[in-house]
Amino acid sequence: LKIYLDCYPCLLGQAIRAARLSGADETQQYAILRDTLALLQNLPSGANPPVIGNQVHEIVRNLVGTQDPFREIKEASTQQALALYPKLKELVQRSEDPLAMAIRISIAGNIIDFAVNDPSADLWETVERVIQQPYAIDDTEALKAQLKKVDQVLFLADNAGETVFDRVLIETLPRPVTYVVKGGPIVNDATMKDALAAGLHRCAALTTNGAQATGTILSVCSESFRVKFDQAPVVIAKGQANFETLSNAGAKIFCLLQVKCPVIGQDLDVPVGSIIARQSTCTDTILP
């Protein structure tokens, strides 16, 4: 996904929210604002929103010095999600198609997203909505077919708390899973610590992508992750930032997400609030 006009006010808003969460004082907040305005004025054409978002958060980190401003939010999200874990498991167990239900539950967890908006959304209400809602894009049959053919799955995590919903899916998948978290704290994306707190080590091999960046920007990931990514026979990629960075990075990738951003909605020609299970295309070999 390339940057659109509407990304600019959103990125500016992200800078301000991150500045406040980082405990920036007013002088620092205005310095962050000015640096972000300067960044936005000089974007290369074809810039990718998560790449720019990461630069915004780097500005905040450098000016305030807080390395992990979303730490408390992430811990609270994980605890909230863990409280639902037994009910989520029950939904899968009672379902006629447990894998289909588990995929929907993992997508429901994608409502947890502090980069895009301050979610007042109730987690359980979201689950009840998403398990009934028709897909706006539905490649789940292709995903299920792939899962039957392969011997392992690479699973790219998104946010802390959403991890618990992913765990329910991973425990339902018929193949061993490697669960990939971020290499360092970036907004509320899951790191190794967050994955452990959500109990992912009980159902998957854990690893990091070596990058302190949202989405999966292969050029800033570690060499060892890139090898895993290249060798993976199938990749499940969660959330908007992974979609934005991997939507045309090859047909072995399946993006599971809720559309929370109007620009992504427009790009996919679906309304905000849609649920998506989309097989990536092959326009580019490596993005961005």
In the DSSP assignment, the letter for residue 135 is: P
Distance of alpha carbon 217 from alpha carbon 220, whole angstroms: 6
* Of the residues 2, 23, 30, 227, which one makes contact with a second copy according to CB under 8 A: 30
User: Any contact of residue 25 with a second copy (CB under 8 A)?
Assistant: no
Distance of alpha carbon 41 from the chain centroid: 27
Nearer to a second copy, 8 or 85 (CB): 8
Structure tokens at 241: 């930032």
- H or E segment to which residue 240 belongs: helix 239-246
Q: Are 193 and 221 in contact (CB under 8 A)?
A: no
User: Any contact of residue 236 with a second copy (CB under 8 A)?
Assistant: no
Distance of alpha carbon 142 from alpha carbon 140, whole angstroms: 5
Total chain residues near a second copy (CB under 8 A): 17
* Of the residues 1, 18, 21, 40, which one makes contact with a second copy according to CB under 8 A: 40
Q: Which of 57, 76, 94 is nearest to 241 (CA)?
A: 57
**Residue 171 corresponds to which amino acid?**
E
* Of the residues 2, 23, 38, 176, which one makes contact with a second copy according to CB under 8 A: 38
User: Any contact of residue 9 with a second copy (CB under 8 A)?
Assistant: yes
User: What is the arrangement of strands in the sheet containing 253-258, beginning at the earlier edge strand?
Assistant: 137-138, 275-279, 253-258, 235-238, 153-156, 177-181, 205-208
User: Any contact of residue 37 with a second copy (CB under 8 A)?
Assistant: yes
User: Any contact of residue 8 with a second copy (CB under 8 A)?
Assistant: yes
Q: Write down the least CB distance from residue 40 to a second copy, Å.
A: 6
DSSP letters of 56-83? HHHHHHHHH--S-TTHHHHHHHHHHHHH
User: Any contact of residue 34 with a second copy (CB under 8 A)?
Assistant: yes
Q: Write down the least CB distance from residue 92 to a second copy, Å.
A: 38
Q: Write down the least CB distance from residue 82 to a second copy, Å.
A: 32
Question: Applying CB under 8 A, which part among 7-15, 70-78, 161-169, 263-271 lies near a second copy?
Answer: 7-15
Q: Which of 20, 8, 116, 11 is nearest to 53 (CA)?
A: 11
Q: Write down the least CB distance from residue 264 to a second copy, Å.
A: 17
User: Any contact of residue 10 with a second copy (CB under 8 A)?
Assistant: yes
User: Any contact of residue 206 with a second copy (CB under 8 A)?
Assistant: no
| Interacting residues with a second copy (CB under 8 A) | 5-6, 8-10, 12-13, 16, 19, 29-30, 33-34, 37-38, 40-41
